[in-house]
Structures are given as C-alpha cells and as structure tokens.
Amino acid sequence: MRRYNEYDPFARMYNLYWGTHATRMYTTLEHLVLRHLAGEGPVLDLCCGTGQLAARLVADGYQVIGIDGSESMIEIARDNAPTVQFLVQDVREPLPIRGFRAALSTFDSLNHLMTREDLTEVFRNVRDALAKGGLFAFDLNMADAYETRWKGTFAYVEDDHVCVARSSKDVERCIGNMELTIFELTRSGWERADVTLSQRWYAEEQVLEALRVAGFDAVHSLSANEPIAEGSPASQGRMYFVARRVD
C-alpha cells in the first residue's frame, strides 16, 4: 500500500505548530459546505493530519471519519479526537467507505500530490466516496503563495525540542520544498530527524479540469486573498475549490 510514511518523523512538530491551521479555516468551511448539511453527516476529513479539524467537527455534532497516509499523524489524531474513526491510508487508493455527505481537505494537503495524474486519481476516489449531491471542498497553495509565504528560514526552540525549517522553490518544475531538521529530547538523549516536505502548485484551470475529468459536475474556485466570508481569514496565494457530485 502506498502511503506518506516519510512524514511520520514530522508528526509531533506538525501537531504542535501546524495542526491548528485547519481549524482556522472553519468559518470558510462553514460558508462553503457545512451550512448546507444541516448537521447531517457523515463527513470525510481527507488528509486529516493530527485531527484538530475532526475534533472541531465532532464538537459541532458531525459524524466524522478521518483518513491520512501517516501512521504517526493518525496516532496523535486519535488522542486529539478520541471519538472519531481514523484510518491510515494513502488517499490515492480507493476509499473503503462510501456515502459521505461532504469531504474536506484543508491546509494545502493536496499540494503534496506531485503529479496531475495523482491529483485526478484522488479527486476520482473522493467522488466515488460521496453520496449523490455530496460536496467536496479543499484549499491549495497557488503559485503566488510560494513567493509570499513559502520562503526563508524559521525555527521553533523549546527545552525538549528544536525544529528548523528552510524553504525553497523550483519555479520551472512548480515545486516548493521545506527542509526540516528536528531535534527531540528522548530518554536516551537527543535524537535528530531530517525531513523534506515537497509541494507542487497547479494552475487554477488545471485543478478545475482535473475535477471535471474525475467526474464532478459542478465545480468552482474562490481566492482566499480576501476573506471569503465574514470572520474568515485571508491568506495570500491560497485558493478554495468546491465541487459537487451531481449524479
């Protein structure tokens, strides 16, 4: 089974410093999808990471199933949202559960799909998992994000861990890389892990076309450079996509 196990060493740092980003998008998700569900589920949290969004959805009364390719991420997610069913699976594989009212994928998770073929395959898997009329909403980093936000070096330094991140981009290949060096204090001393996270950016029309090829009948996109709804955050270079399974 394919899965993103190379992200396993990053799971604890993601939980501490990045996991809450998904919940910051909640107002946007309410505007785009959740208000149309009338509290009914189930909802698929695709590439759920460490489960913060799933926990928020459950708190609001939704039935949630979370899927992620990183076993270490899922282990933490089960602590963050103990009532949620989480599955370890690469989202490029057919999803084992059907009948979702909605599917959500947040915080540019799908930028980690490095080919248009993989992107289309995931879209097709999501469509097959949705019930008739089901909605699929996700966000992606567009090219502008890698100019404005995906750059430079930063670090988190605490008594029991250090995480240093260095960002770069390959404009010709439309790829951004974040190299992470992580030191964690364990019972046996300090341990080091080096992880490279890669993302690919796609043109808006490429994403819309992939959704159509995957069988979605109603698709549209919204720029997050300005707030999409009252109370929702703006995010330079981010775009939201919404698609519906009509038949």
Task: Give Cα separations from 89 to 1, 51, 68, 245 (angstroms).
Answer: 8, 15, 6, 23
Whether pLDDT at 241 is above 60: yes
Tokens of 50: 């460490």
Q: Which residues, other chains included, contact 229 with Cβ-Cβ below 8 Å and sequence gap of 6+?
A: 27, 28, 30, 31
Query: In terms of C-beta density within 10 A (0-12 exposed, 13-18 middle, 19 or more buried), how is residue 61 classed?
Result: exposed
Convert the pLDDT of each residue in 145-187 to its tens digit.
999 999 899 999 999 999 999 999 999 999 999 999 999 999 9
CA Rg value for the chain: 18
Whether pLDDT at 209 is above 60: yes
Whether pLDDT at 30 is above 60: yes
Q: Helix 116-129 crosses helix 204-213 at what angle (to 10 degrees)?
A: 50
pLDDT at site 7: 81
Whether pLDDT at 1 is above 60: no
Q: How confident is the model at residue 2 (pLDDT cuts 50, 70, 90)?
A: low
Whether pLDDT at 114 is above 70: yes
CA–CA gap between residue 127 and residue 113 (Å, rounded):
17
Whether pLDDT at 4 is above 70: no
CA–CA gap between residue 234 and residue 238 (Å, rounded):
8
pTM of the predicted model over 0.85: yes
Cβ atoms within 10 A of the Cβ of 140, count?
A: 25
CA–CA gap between residue 79 and residue 217 (Å, rounded):
37
In sequence order, what are the beta bridge partners of 128? none
Whether pLDDT at 64 is above 60: yes
Beta strands 100-105 and 43-46, pairing class: parallel
CA–CA gap between residue 51 and residue 22 (Å, rounded):
9
Whether pLDDT at 39 is above 70: no
Average predicted confidence (pLDDT) for the chain: 95
pLDDT at site 3: 57
Average of per-residue pLDDT across 202-226: 96
- The full length of the chain comes to 247
* Residue spans of alpha helices (H) in the chain: 11-17, 21-24, 26-32, 52-59, 71-80, 116-129, 143-148, 204-213
